[in-house]
Structure 1
């Protein structure tokens, strides 16, 4: 099975994460940041993967360290679970509507890290969550799994809907990319490795 367990402890956060790409349960997210827990749950459910996250961070400062470090650990777990990436589609794209909002995620599990983030949020907070951390999370994720990740809000007004659209779209695009395709022999690259 394609799975990974990672524990990361720093002076700022303590994170334990388990991931299984070939199972859908359990999904249990506990970071201490309610809105972020909701977004990660959507990401896992729409990506059809089992994800358990327990994070204890310095939330008395703010949620920046917790959100970024969860992105780091999730990226590391995805990289480990994918192994040599033999047989996977490699690419994934998803458009997700959420009422008035339309978000897009397109990614390439290329072994090269890059993030293009084209989204803005009118409100600096969603609950106790700083909206600027959405980009921070996706940057940490993309750089640690080593993928190209393009995120865009094509249109929308509601900040919750925008965020939800991006997390769902990323989960769905990732599911497409990590799916093993019987028509692909070896690694989906002319280089012979990703």
Structure 2
């Protein structure tokens, strides 16, 4: 039986209001508005290369800085991915992707395990990309992994352009996650774990 792998999640705090809607089995259509131009661009890439239909609407305290909005968008997106995956029946579960972006090469490895963890080995040669602090990228990936319930390893082997490094991470995550959440017909409706559960 085909699964309806869609979700809608919202979060409202004194710092941000975020709503995310997605379809894991989409075409890569994206409608993104976070108030942070570079983050919008990265989320559009994530949707397109992950073949995830994605809508993100976020309003945050950007007069303070971009931290709260960046992190909360990742929290809500992760929660939506987790909801859409449900019991994770039939998924491939693991994904590995090497993503070249001009002079940059980044490796992403994911286990859609229900056990959240992030290993982040990425260095940026500049403090900002556009107006966005590069230190926020780790915050985004951390919040996403924790709330999606995935184990995620990200390592950039080399690169000299911060834009390329960030883009390789987001595109690589999209491709890696796309592989991991693909339904494996040989799994049928089983949960790919000897425990019989990927709930964490």
Q: TM-score, normalised by structure 1?
A: 0.98
Of the candidates 144, 147, 152, which is equivalent to residue 144 of structure 1? 147
Matches within 5 A, 1:117-132: 117-132=120-135
Q: Which 10-residue stretch deviates more, 160-169 or 120-129?
A: 120-129
Aligned length: 194
Distance in structure 1 (CA, Å) of the matches to 2:38 and 2:166 = 10
Partner of 1:99: 102
Q: Between 167-176 and 182-191, report the one with greater CA deviation.
A: 182-191
Q: Does residue 62 in structure 1 map to residue 82 in structure 2?
A: no
In the alignment, the residues of structure 2 paired with residue 52 and residue 128 of structure 1 have an alpha-carbon distance, to the nearest angstrom, of 23
Q: Are residues 1:26 and 2:22 paired?
A: no
Partner of 2:47: 44
Alpha-carbon RMSD across the aligned residues, in angstroms, is 0.8
For the residue of structure 2 that corresponds to 1:141, the secondary structure is helix
Distance 2:111 2:125 in 1: 29
Q: 2: distance between equivalents of 1:76 and 1:70?
A: 10
- Which residue of 1 is the match for residue 194 of structure 2? 190
CA–CA separation in structure 2 for the residues paired with 1:63 and 1:160: 17
Taking the aligned partners of 2:62 and 2:143, their CA distance within structure 1 comes to 18
| Residue aligning to 1:5 | 8
Shift of residue 127, structure 1, vs aligned partner:
1.1
Q: 170, 173, 178: which is aligned to 1:170?
A: 173
Could you give the per-residue CA deviations for residues 36-88 of structure 1, whole angstroms, max 9, x where no partner exists?
Answer: 11011111111111010010000000000000000100010000000000000
Q: Secondary structure at the match of 1:122?
A: coil
- How much has 1:25 moved relative to structure 2? 4.8
Secondary structure in 2 aligned to 1:173? helix
> d(CA) in 1 for partners of 2:14 and 2:165?
32
Give yes or no for contact 2:74–2:143 (8 Å, CA) kept in 1. yes
